[in-house]
Structure formats: C-alpha cells, structure tokens
Amino acid sequence: MQLAVADALIIFDGAVIEVFQRSFNDSARMPVAWSAVQVEVKRNDRRRLSFGQVADHAGPVLYGAEVGNVIGQRWLELSVDEEAQVRAFFAEVARLSGRVIQ
C-alpha cells in the first residue's frame, strides 16, 4: 500500500512504514508496532505531521494529536485536504495492524 502526497511517498508493507521525501537522500523506515504519526494544527489551515517512533512504548494509537512523545524522523506540512488523504491511509494501516487513529 502506498500514498504520494506533497513531496512524500509513504509505503506500508504489512510490517514497516517507510517515508520517502524528495528533500532527503534516504528514507525513514519504522516498524509499525513502534511507529506513530503526530498531527499538529498550524496557522492558515495547515497541519504538521511528524512521523517517527514513540519514545516510550507505542500504545494502540497510531495517528493523532496525542500519540505520545514521537521521536520524529520526518515531518510534513500539509493542507487540510492533503492531511485527510494521509489520515485515510493511516486509518487503513491501523486497521490492518491492530492499532487505532484519533
């Protein structure tokens, strides 16, 4: 499963989430069991998404405003519409991996 949004390509292979961005030479790979995406509301209807591992043990929440202390490996700033696409993608990732979104 994959999603292209803004300058990023996000891939989920069943066990690992991988984030590629045009502005980086390498990708960020994280096991879904340790991963989280923290959503932060910004000005002008923008959203900042931080992709990374939860500093403590990952709980059931994979995606949302309160996922825990995310050690960000990558971040994206998106419009509300783009964030809705990413939310839908991670809702399916959560369903397939036994996690939830906020």
35 burial level (CB within 10 Å; 0-12, 13-18, 19+)? buried
pLDDT reading at 73 higher than 90: no
pLDDT reading at 52 higher than 80: yes
Mean pLDDT of the 46-63 span: 86
Instruction: Provide the percentage of residues in the chain whose pLDDT is more than 70.
Output: 98
The better pLDDT of the pair 3, 60 is held by 3
